[in-house]
């Protein structure tokens, strides 16, 4: 049995026969502060993931990892840029694993394939941290550079799930992938994105994520119109949205 809980954006928690893990666990969602301790305590206090996967290191994906490191001894599997940000903020090497494209991670009952992906839009040339950036002010959004972008193919309990955190992909790495559930960021998707999905991937059900108003706290959760537009663009799209902050058994939807 595979269960998933959505915390908005691409923040996901999974439970399966072998344990639990999270992807992009960000819940602070504050208009001014990148880290909101009261929101972290409200939504992450009971989370004890065996490990965490990170699609990229923008401010709306990575910062709340610091809270999880304080509360648990979990391990972050993420890009070199994401790991360098964590190092700059005092996280030790035993809790960090730098991913490389194409890497396969094996856990009890779970295989994760770490695929090269892309962020939507044009990224600046200095989009990476090749070294630990000790001089950066990480209270500013622009300091949380995107870095290398990953998508994750998850194979567990007879299900295949593909997760991507942004409305784009790296076609050579992902073309031809077949999955039961495509849990994918559709935020502000642009012309051509529907074709990227339908021409390169095969999926039984699309679950849209990262299309909520994510500068508002979860107590004020609301969706934008990205899924409505996507259903208009793709005839008979097998798509759905997860209820926020509720466990859902994937095999029952």
68-100: pLDDT as tens digits: 999 999 999 999 999 999 999 999 999 999 999
Confidence band, pLDDT 50/70/90 cuts, at residue 30: confident
pLDDT over threshold 80, residue 253: no
**Stretch 157-163: mean pLDDT:** 97
Long-range contacts of 187-192 (CB under 8 A, 24+ apart): 187/120, 187/211, 187/224, 187/226, 188/120, 188/224, 188/226, 189/120, 189/226, 189/229, 189/230, 190/120, 190/121
What token pair was written down for 222? Answer: 């609301």
Asked if the model's pLDDT at residue 144 lies above 80, the reply is yes
Percent of the chain with pLDDT over 90: 94
Segment holding 157, helix H or strand E: none
Closest CA to 79 of 117, 110, 45, 22: 117
Q: Which of 202, 101, 115 is nearest to 163 (CA)?
A: 115
Residue-level pLDDT at 187: 95
pLDDT band at 202 (very low <50, low <70, confident <90, very high): very high
Would you state the pLDDT for residue 28?
98
Residue 252 pLDDT > 80 = no
CA dist., res. 246 & res. 49, Å (int) = 17
Q: Is the pLDDT confidence value at 154 over 90?
A: yes
Is the model's pLDDT at 57 over the cut of 90? yes
User: In order of start, what are the domains of the chain with their CATH numbers?
Assistant: 3-252 (3.60.15.10)
Mean pLDDT of all residues belonging to the chain = 96
- Inform me whether the pLDDT recorded for 121 exceeds 90: no
Residue 251 confidence (pLDDT): 84
**Furthest-apart CA atoms within the chain: distance in Å:** 50
pTM, to two decimals: 0.97
Is residue 65 helix, strand or coil?
A: helix
Q: Distance between CA atoms of 214 and 25, rounded to whole angstroms?
A: 13
């Amino acid at each position: 049995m595979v269960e998933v809980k959505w915390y908005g954006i691409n923040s996901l928690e999974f439970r399966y026969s072998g344990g639990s893990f999270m992807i992009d666990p960000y819940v602070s969602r504050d208009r001014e502060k990148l880290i909101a301790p009261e929101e972290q305590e409200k939504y992450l206090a009971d989370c004890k993931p065996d490990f965490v996967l990170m699609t990229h290191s923008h401010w709306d994906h990575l910062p709340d990892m610091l809270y999880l490191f304080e509360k648990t001894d979990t391990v972050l599997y993420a890009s070199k840029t994401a790991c360098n940000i964590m190092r700059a903020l005092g996280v030790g090497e035993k809790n960090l694993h730098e991913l490389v494209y194409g890497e396969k991670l094996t856990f009890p009952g779970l295989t994760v394939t770490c695929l090269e992906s892309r962020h939507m839009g044009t990224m600046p040339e200095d989009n990476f941290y090749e070294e630990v950036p000790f001089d950066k002010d990480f209270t500013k959004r622009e300091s949380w550079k995107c870095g290398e972008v990953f998508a994750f193919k998850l194979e567990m309990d007879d299900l295949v799930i593909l997760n991507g955190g942004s409305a784009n992909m790296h076609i050579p790495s992902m073309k031809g992938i077949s999955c039961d559930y495509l849990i994918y960021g559709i935020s502000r998707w642009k012309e051509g994105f529907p074709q990227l999905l339908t021409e390169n991937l095969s999926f039984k059900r699309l679950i849209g994520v990262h299309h909520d108003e994510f500068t508002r706290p979860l107590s004020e959760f609301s969706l934008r119109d990205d899924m409505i537009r996507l259903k208009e663009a793709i005839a008979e799209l097998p798509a759905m949205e997860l209820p926020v902050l509720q466990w859902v058994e994937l095999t029952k939807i």
